Structure 1
């Protein structure tokens, strides 16, 4: 599969570009970025070429990997899908529900495959655990703590304007929801309250009848950072395994997942439609924060 990379920031440089360059079943065709000098530098480091014209890159590839802010990603996803490119997207898919819906519609209309890179969903042990707990069922409650120290450390993502604006809800909230939704079902209502810094606490009612909480932060003290998911139900207590490999290994699997979805026509569970559901929950939580009320969500139609 011929891939183009859209983006030249820290995530693209540290993860996307090296993975696309190393993947044995991928031809890394080129890089496009909003900063041409950065695109040229990144392309040279990976033995590929920079593109100044996005449409030229889209014409030369089968798929694109996007490592750009979500407000930029959503429009480019539409443009790439209309050019016939399969989509390897980052989370969140977009920062508004209409923009996310446009990306989903564009992919469906063009008949292209899509995968949203929720890193936890592409860890081997984590993916197996999620499938096992979904099969077990009977869960009474869930708890997800996703505490980052991006704004309290020397993280390269601390200067990210969109993270500064949208905070933990939109940055690490997708990770928590990507684990809770496939196990507990669709969120039917959500209440959100603010904590210290950018911390947000969610209380979610799920279609299974279970309730779950999530604590999300990018301003946790470094010593308190980390991610935990715990489920309690009829079969006892289950805890999400810790990841034993990094994001590069997960992205390799995401690339393979996109290749398989493109070859078979069978949507991946983390496709753009799932990304849209996550955006709908985040937008509802944002509405809850603004109004001090509980926000209800419509249940999505069953997948074919």
Structure 2
């Protein structure tokens, strides 16, 4: 299969660490070029740098995003309307309104999409989810604790410092509990996204789950934990052994060539955003 020519929007730490190497490595994709608001940063990624995003669109058949959620929402619409397949970061957008606008543009144009929900591509996660399907699950819990907001962290970017754990790690946690226990149909939230947030999730299967999110912890911190309990056993997510980026690139190329059909598409990203928006609304209500 001819490698998919992918243009990258963004040149920050995550683009340099993950997206650019993944796309340039091949054999399923090739990095066709980069557009960023800081051309000097884009030049470090080892690909042609375009001054205008429309010129990047002309040079590729798909676009990957490594930018703040508000920028992805804005430029994702332009890329979809230009007929480009989209490799999208989480969350889909900075607001539910903008997430709907992007998802609507994708639906109208029919372009293939895939979300970079990194945890879902690891062999350990797929083994965990297969086990969840065997045990008739009725409940579970998750915790994702870090120190990203405490200062000096590479990912302590403005949007994370403003919105906190719910918008950043919330998509990962809600997505995985959704996959393990069934579609999330309700959420109750308490706490503070800049300190500690608790979520109680209700699933269409009748299961319930709890999640703790924090990006303001200090000291030695435990790895993320996910556990699910069922009528015939339990399932615990094991630590990652390998990074998921080869799998992400391979599946994205297959999604582009097939014209869509990936389960982690923009419509799925919108559904996650609906849960997170409701949680944010509850946390903002006195």
TM-score in same-fold range (> 0.5): yes
**Aligned equivalent of 2:230, options 230, 233, 236:** 233
> Shift of residue 195 of structure 1?
5.4
Structure 2 counterpart of 1:138, from 109, 117, 136:
136
Partner of 2:33 in structure 1? 30
Find the counterpart in structure 2 of residue 17 from structure 1: 20
| Corresponding position of 1:295 | none
Q: Structure 2: any 5+ residue segments left out of the alignment?
A: none
**Structure 2 residue 115 is matched with structure 1 residue 116:** yes
Asked if 2 retains the 8 angstrom alpha-carbon contact of 1:137 and 1:183, the reply is: no
Match of 2:262 in 1: 268
The corresponding residue for 1:242 is: 239
In the TM superposition, structure 1's runs of 4+ consecutive aligned residues that sit over 6 Å from their partners are: none
Match of 2:271 in 1: 277
> Which whole-Å CA distance do the structure 2 matches of 1:80 and 1:198 have between them?
35
For structure 1, list consecutive stretches of 5 or more residues without a partner in the other structure.
293-304
| 1:190 CA displacement | 1.1
Find the aligned partners of 2:186 and 2:263 in 1 and give their Cα distance.
22
**Alignment partner of 1:63 is 2:62:** yes
Residues 42-79 of structure 1: per-residue CA shift (max 9 Å, x gap) = 3xxx2x21000100111110111100001110111111
Deviations 1:133-166, CA, capped at 9 Å, x for gaps? 1x325212110101112123642112x0000011
Distance in structure 2 (CA, Å) of the matches to 1:24 and 1:192: 43
Distance in 1 separating the partners of 2:126 and 2:75: 28
> Is the contact made by 1:120 and 1:127 (CA closer than 8 Å) also made in structure 2?
no
What is the TM-score normalised by the length of structure 1?
A: 0.88
Question: Could you tell me whether the CA contact under 8 Å between 2:77 and 2:106 is conserved in 1?
Answer: yes
Q: In the superposition, relative to structure 1, how do residues 5 and 216 fare at CA in structure 2: closer, same or farther (>3 Å)?
A: same
Contact 1:88 1:255 in 2 (8 A): no
Question: What's the C-alpha RMSD, in Å, of the aligned pairs?
Answer: 1.6
Counterpart residue number, 1:201: 198
Distance 1:274 1:222 in 2: 35
SS at match of 2:92: coil
Residue 290, structure 1, aligned to residue 274, structure 2: no
1:176 paired with 2:173, answer yes
Contact 2:131 2:235 in 1 (8 A): no
